[in-house]
Amino acid sequence: MKLLNLLMWVVQFGFSILFPTVFFLILAVWLQNKFSLGVWIIIVLGILGVLTSVSTTRSCLKSLRKAADEVSGRNPPPVAFNDHK
């Protein structure tokens, strides 16, 4: 069951990479056709989509790493009061 949970995270990771960029590009093409804007709207929203993808990918990777550590049991033990540096 835990491996299925990790598989869900991998699918979420792929979705977080593709969806923002595709969404912003589709929005840019629609805005260009609707309001007769230039190519600049595709460039601006394309860059915004890529930046959003990078941001969501970073947060998804952090969550994926945390979930993988919990499954593998590699969490370091908590620091006791007298053991800290």
Would you write out the chain's pLDDT as a tens digit for each of its 85 residues?
Answer: 777 877 887 888 889 899 999 999 999 999 999 999 999 999 999 999 999 999 998 998 888 788 777 777 766 666 666 655 5
Is residue 82, in this structure, part of any structural domain at all?
Answer: no
Asked if 57 and 16 count as a contact pair (C-beta separation under 8 A), the reply is: yes
**Three-class SS state of 37:** coil
Would you say residue 76 lies in a domain?
A: no
Provide the domain limits for residue 12: 2-70
Please indicate, yes or no, if residue 41 is contained in any of the structural domains.
yes
Question: Would you say residue 8 lies in a domain?
Answer: yes
How many domains in the chain?
1
The pTM assigned to this predicted structure is 0.74
Q: Is residue 84 part of a domain?
A: no
15 in a structural domain: yes
